[in-house]
Chain A
Amino acid sequence: MNQNVINFFNKIQNIDRRYIYIVVALSIIIPLLIPFNSPTYVTKPTADIYKKVDSFAFDENKAVLLSFTHDASTMPELFPMEVAVLRHCFERNIKVFTICWLPAAAPLVDYALNTAKEDYDVQSGVDYCNFGFKPWAIQLPIMLGMGDDIAKAVETDSQGRKVENLEIMKNIKNYDDMNLVIDFAGSSSAISWITYARARFGANIAAGVTAVMVADNYPYLQTGQLMGMFRGLKGAAEYEKLVDVFAAYESEDYPNGRPYSNEIIKETNVPITGDTIPYKYKKARIGMNAQSVAHIMMIFFILLGNIGYFITRNKG
């Protein structure tokens, strides 16, 4: 083999890691600054959550609970999911509750609600209700208590109002009515909901997790204990697309969104360049561009490293 090639690979085998950092930084920053259109393929675990949430549309006897079990560190992946689900609920007039178990998650819930409600005529205590921060120590009593009486278990919302007096609680008593819980976390915290809310009261549980935690939650998805799962930023991007294509769709035939269809979602590509969709509703899809390029760079590094390894090893 040409000596120059061997020297080249010898050199890059010991390259300063700061050059790698620069390449990774650029491969993330450039796609974020200059978004481009790439296809978003919707997978079953995400579509299942969408269909379940959508089955509660315009039904005042049903509600969704969003449990925020993470802090700001995992926001880039989880926040777009939360905003997309809230947007779906507000678009389709679905009652939605939020709760969090970490003090650091409390402002995050407010931030997600404030971001999503800007474009909708929704009212706290009527269309949505934030139960606020509840200490981890009382998670179990609340989880179990909600199986009998939500208002009694939670008592007050984030604004200190008695939950039982709120208009949103009309026809909402327990997990039979608040029949879907989506837990957003950078961990396997959905297990608690599976163990107590699902096993004992039959509530439907879904999880929104960071990509690194997907493998840990897969056993529950396969058994059906999790009825769906947002798998990292990809899951958030898929849900954003679903909301754009169905829930936020408006036409003469469908003035308040249209029903889910496998055919439509397969054939439709929603362009994210331009100003048609507000930035906050396409954040995950723009992020997926950066993730795509970063993954390609990572694979390139792995291949380059291995080629160099074999060439220099054989020479040695």
Chain B
Amino acid sequence: MKRQIPLIIIITLGFMFVAHSFIPHKISTEFFDWFQDWVKAISPFAVSLGIMSLFMVHGTKISRKVPNWQYSVVTLGGLIFTAVAGFVWGTQAGTPYMWLFENVQMPMSASMFALLAFYIASAAYKAFRARSAEATVLLIAAVIVMLGQVPLGAMISKWIPETSTWILNVPNLAAKRAIMIGVGLGMTATSLKILLGIERTYLGGGD
């Protein structure tokens, strides 16, 4: 029963939503509205589950003093402090919550993303070599697209931004579309397998 009941729910609701997409009848619209209310009611439980899971994972690490357990203290401390700041003083401008966002989260997140520039520069210098014909094409395309992205490219020649756009519009699109069509077909096949009850791995292993 642990497998049959979830399977029945998924297959029934799956076909009902397929029907809703193609049959704009009053009953189907009402069913959709009813479903919306249920989703709204269920989604807060996902947040509670996430918080509980975070406390369990990091609480265990702290109590067992596993290597680097201090980071878990920071994680839980950050979670509690931010939540309390939001609940007590609100989330509007000038509150401790917004101060945390502007002075801690924002610079830290941006710094992490900015590290990419350094790694790319180092990798470009050390590894981006014209070792073969394919690598040479890639290298030339990269240089043109990089130049096309900054004003200098257009200042050197109007052909640079135009060639950059062509690279993005033609060879890039051909490859992207091929990948997307493949992914799309795969998704359709998997969705059908789930709807028909053939694909069951999402239910977890064992009875």
Contact = CB atoms under 8 A, between A and B. Distances in A.
A234 interface: yes
Q: Size class of A's contact patch?
A: 35 or more
Q: Size class of B's contact patch?
A: 35 or more
Given A135-B47, A302-B143, A291 B98 contact: no
Contacts of B40: 138, 141
Nearest to B92: A110
Interface stretch (B63-71, B120-128, B199-207): B120-128
Interface in B166-184: 168-169, 172-173, 176-177, 180
A292 B151 contact: yes
| Residue with the greatest number of chain A CB neighbours at <10 A, chosen from B108, B112, B124, B172 | B124
A309 B130 CA distance: 9
A75 interface: yes
Nearest to B129: A309
Interface string A285-298: 00010011011111
Determine chain B's interface SS by DSSP, over half rule: helix
A138 B124 contact: no
Given A141-B36, A234-B149, A298-B121, A72 B176 contact: no
A40 B152 CA distance: 10
Interface of B: 32, 35-36, 39-40, 42-44, 46-47, 91-93, 97-98, 101-102, 105-106, 108-110, 112-114, 117-118, 120-122, 124-126, 128-131, 139, 142-143, 146-147, 149-152, 154-155, 161, 168-169, 172-173, 176-177, 180
Interface of A: 15, 17, 20-21, 23-25, 28, 38-41, 43, 71-76, 104, 106-108, 110-111, 114, 135, 137-138, 141, 144-145, 153, 211, 214-216, 218-219, 222, 231-232, 234, 288, 291-292, 294-299, 301-302, 304-306, 309-310
Nearest 10 interchain pairs by C-beta? A72-B109, A73-B109, A107-B101, A137-B43, A301-B125, A292-B150, A141-B36, A73-B113, A72-B106, A135-B43
